[in-house]
Amino acid sequence: SQELEQSPQSLIVQEGKNLTINCTSSKTLYGLYWYKQKYGEGLIFLMMLQKGGEEKSHEKITAKLDEKKQQSSLHITASQPSHAGIYLCGAGNQGGKLIFGQGTELSVKP
């Protein structure tokens, strides 16, 4: 079965620093979703990537999809405390079922 592995599992950065979170699939990716969740709160849908090489941005967050590597990366530029939370990637497998990574916990120190 297909699995998604996120790295790192947790990350602590100083405010203003850039960071990257990776999501690697064990099989071919058919669409890749990024979500954000704050503790005790709901989920925020960040963006969806469908095509190899596709890149999307939402404010200071940029995500790219590398189909050959079966990987997506999420890059945050000039991190702020408001970026803190858990970032989740989700992907559709060949059977159309949506699966999720275990999440990356991001802390931003002021």
Partner 1 sequence: DARVTQTPRHKVTEMGQEVTMRCQPILGHNTVFWYRQTMMQGLELLAYFRNRAPLDDSGMPKDRFSAEMPDATLATLKIQPSEPRDSAVYFCASGPSTDTQYFGPGTRLTVL
Residues that bind partner 1 (CB under 8 A): 35, 41-45, 48, 88, 90, 95-98, 100-103
Q: How far is the CB of 95 from partner 1 (least distance, A)?
A: 8
For partner 1, the closer of residues 10 and 102 by Cβ is 102
Q: How far is the CB of 74 from partner 1 (least distance, A)?
A: 16
Question: Which residue pairs from 61-68 have beta carbons closer than 8 angstroms and sit at least 24 positions apart in sequence?
Answer: 61/34, 63/32, 63/34, 65/29, 65/32, 67/28, 67/29
Q: How far is the CB of 110 from partner 1 (least distance, A)?
A: 27
Sign of CA dihedral 44, 54, 72, 96: positive
Residue 91: φ, ψ to 5°: -145, 150
For partner 1, the closer of residues 33 and 83 by Cβ is 33
For partner 1, the closer of residues 41 and 110 by Cβ is 41
For partner 1, the closer of residues 69 and 97 by Cβ is 97
Q: What residue has token string 């704050």? A: 38
Q: How far is the CB of 15 from partner 1 (least distance, A)?
A: 26
Per-residue tokens: 32: 């890749």
